[in-house]
Amino acid sequence: MKVLAILYTGGKAAQEEPKLLGTIENQLGIRPWLESLGHEFIVSDDKEGPNSVFQKNIVDADILITTPFHPGYLTADLIAKAKNLKICVTAGVGSDHIDLNAAVERKIQVLEVTGSNVVSVAEHVVMSILLLVRNYTPAHEMIERGDWQVSEVARNAYDLEGKVVGTIGAGRIGYRVLQRLLPFNCKELIYYDYAPLPAEAAKAISARRVEDLKDFVSQCDVVTVNCPLHEGTRGLINADLLKHFKKGAWLVNTARGAICDADAVAAALKSGQLRGYSGDVWNVQPAPKNHPWRTMKNPLGGGNGMVPHYSGTTLDAQARYAAGTKSILENFFENKPQEPANIIVGVGKYETKAYGQR
């Protein structure tokens, strides 16, 4: 079979660090195995435009492997051209780069390595909340500049204790974020999700569900976004919803960039409606050099915690999603059932409830 993988270039770092498995250099560690089974394996980072390796090879590929960190965007148009495509594997979590409705129609299966990097992301979210609330980055930049003016950074630094923290999406990541925040003695941990947590799970972290989104955001000092990107969440956090946030709230989004309206977030930070915004996901990846999120600031010159998309791609996570990708392929080649939690789209139907209410 023809297996096509769109991964990112790791360069010198990937040559020096073989554990960077999600790169075109280290190829998820599966080339020798795939070739020993007689499969053809094409790996590239070249994914944009009709002449890209991605678009040229998708027409007769049987299997597509992509990663959310450098997504090969499989649109409905490309799906129509991909005559042999049977299965798409996301090396990681989050398959919004694939037109899932078109995959359902064409009976192309879509699988993720569910759970492979949820702890990695949850840790990043907790870190980001603390960095914003404590005004860490401007304080560190002050030190690098050679300055020392405590009041300049303390004037916008707070404790997390006593604050209300809420997650949009209380699945694997959202729940783990709240779990990890328990010892910080927040005033309250709340969540917004159409799927209520099982009673025992909610009780274990004393989490309260709020059913109306505007009502939910108006109660939060910190909002963290942990739901997939789909028709119901694209642009969910826009100028209108941001008006309902508490003035000076902090927002952390490691889910998907397009869940937030980029210009509305930048404007809310500039006006002080948001005190801080942090995350690693962007509406286009790689983000253009002039993307407003690279340099946006609050009125005091801080509040920006943006990094490239890497929260879910620690070396620990890469080992897990590389092994998970291999195991999905093995099941596929040997006609064995897949792990149910990994199936986003089965043959002709959605197998998950996480990508929107249908």
- The catalytic residues are 117, 256, 285, 309
CA nearest 332: which of 350, 319, 317, 347? Answer: 347
Q: Is 312 in the site for ligand NAI (CB under 6 A)?
A: yes
Q: Is 173 in the site for ligand NAI (CB under 6 A)?
A: yes
Q: Is 224 in the site for ligand NAI (CB under 6 A)?
A: no
Q: Is 192 in the site for ligand NAI (CB under 6 A)?
A: yes
Give the interface size with ligand NAI as a residue count (CB under 6 A). 33
Q: Is 227 in the site for ligand NAI (CB under 6 A)?
A: yes
Residue from 280, 298, 304, 343 in contact with ligand NAI (CB under 6 A): 280
Q: Is 307 in the site for ligand NAI (CB under 6 A)?
A: no
Q: Give residue for tokens 């340099």.
A: 295
Q: Is 172 in the site for ligand NAI (CB under 6 A)?
A: yes
Q: Which residue lies nearer to ligand NAI by CB, 41 or 277? A: 277
Q: Which residue lies nearer to ligand NAI by CB, 111 or 255? A: 255
Q: Is 281 in the site for ligand NAI (CB under 6 A)?
A: yes
Q: Which of residues 111-150 bind ligand NAI (CB under 6 A)?
A: 117-118, 121
Least distance (Å) between residue 285 CB and ligand NAI? 10
Residue from 168, 251, 266, 343 in contact with ligand NAI (CB under 6 A): 168
Spell out the SS3 assignment of the chain: CEEEEECECCHHHHHHCCCCCCECCCHHHCHHHHHHCCCEEEEECCCCCCCCHHHHHHHHCCEEEECCCCCCCECHHHHHHCCCCCEEEECCCCCCCECHHHHHHHCCEEEECCCCCHHHHHHHHHHHHHHHHCCHHHHHHHHHHCCCCHHHHHCCCCCCCCCEEEEECCCHHHHHHHHHHHHHCCCEEEEECCCCCCHHHHHHCCEEECCCHHHHHHHCCEEEECCCCCCCCCCCECHHHHHHCCCCEEEEECCCHHHECHHHHHHHHHHCCEEEEEECCCCCCCCCCCCHHHHCCCCCCCCEEECCCCCCCCHHHHHHHHHHHHHHHHHHHCCCCCCHHHEEEECCEECCCCCCCC
Q: Which of residues 333-352 bind ligand NAI (CB under 6 A)?
A: none
Least distance (Å) between residue 268 CB and ligand NAI? 20
The tally of CA atoms less than 13 A away on the side-chain side of residue 342 is 23
Least distance (Å) between residue 121 CB and ligand NAI? 5
Least distance (Å) between residue 229 CB and ligand NAI? 6
Q: Is 88 in the site for ligand NAI (CB under 6 A)?
A: no
Q: Is 296 in the site for ligand NAI (CB under 6 A)?
A: no
Q: Which residue lies nearer to ligand NAI by CB, 168 or 241? A: 168
Residue from 11, 162, 232, 272 in contact with ligand NAI (CB under 6 A): 232
Residues at the annotated binding site for NAD(+)?
172-173, 193, 228-232, 254, 280, 309-312
Q: Interface residues with ligand NAI (CB under 6 A)? A: 92-94, 117-118, 121, 168-174, 192-195, 226-229, 232-233, 254-256, 280-281, 309, 311-312, 354, 356
